[in-house]
């Protein structure tokens, strides 16, 4: 008796491991073909999982980016008009050039602070959590070793 092979689609989803009797009646070649097929299926499934995660996270990120963009534009307009008001107010007590310089220095300080905070947050972006967890379950024997095969 030979080990049943499985293809793609519904057959792959309904595949059950072979029984001990089926394994005993199989040749080494058939068993190796089955292991290779199962490994290939596992890798395809991991790639599909990664793609699905990227699509899902991309949609969420796109929507959030659009909303943040709109909020950012609104905040920009508020900051612009408050800056003009501060400049005009300071112009009542000093030269307009110095008032503009003070407002510019305030904005340079705010920009530097925001840049530093943004860089810290960018360093904490996580990768594909679920895919990373499942790939770590692949036995060490199947992972590539940079030093090559040892005898």
pLDDT band at 4 (very low <50, low <70, confident <90, very high): very low
pLDDT band at 56 (very low <50, low <70, confident <90, very high): confident
Listed residue (28, 25, 29, 3) closest to 16, CA to CA = 3
pLDDT band at 32 (very low <50, low <70, confident <90, very high): confident
Mean pLDDT of the region 23-35 = 82
Task: Give per-residue pLDDT as tens, 80-111.
Answer: 999 999 999 999 999 999 999 999 999 999 99
More confident: 150 or 98: 98
Neighbours of 23 (CB within 10 A): 14
Residue 150 pLDDT > 70: no
Tokens encoding 41:
């299926």
Listed residue (55, 56, 53) closest to 45, CA to CA = 53
pLDDT, residue 78, reads 96
Angle subtended at Cα 37 by Cα 137 and Cα 26, rounded to the nearest 5 degrees: 110
Phi, psi of 144 (to 5 degrees): -70, 145
């Amino acid at each position: 008796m030979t080990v049943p092979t499985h293809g793609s689609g519904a057959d792959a989803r309904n595949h059950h491991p072979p029984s001990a009797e089926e394994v005993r009646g199989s040749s080494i070649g058939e068993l190796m073909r089955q292991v290779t097929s199962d490994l290939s299926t596992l890798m395809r499934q991991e790639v599909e999982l990664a793609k699905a995660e990227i699509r899902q996270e991309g949609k969420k990120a796109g929507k959030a980016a659009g909303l943040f963009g709109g909020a950012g534009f609104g905040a920009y307009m508020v900051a612009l008009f408050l800056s003009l008001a501060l400049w005009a107010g300071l112009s009542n007590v000093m030269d307009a050039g110095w008032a503009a310089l003070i407002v510019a220095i305030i904005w340079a300080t705010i920009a530097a602070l925001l840049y530093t905070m943004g860089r810290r947050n960018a360093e904490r972006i996580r990768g594909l959590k679920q895919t990373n967890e499942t790939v770590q379950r692949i036995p060490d024997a199947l992972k590539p070793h940079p030093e090559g095969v040892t005898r």
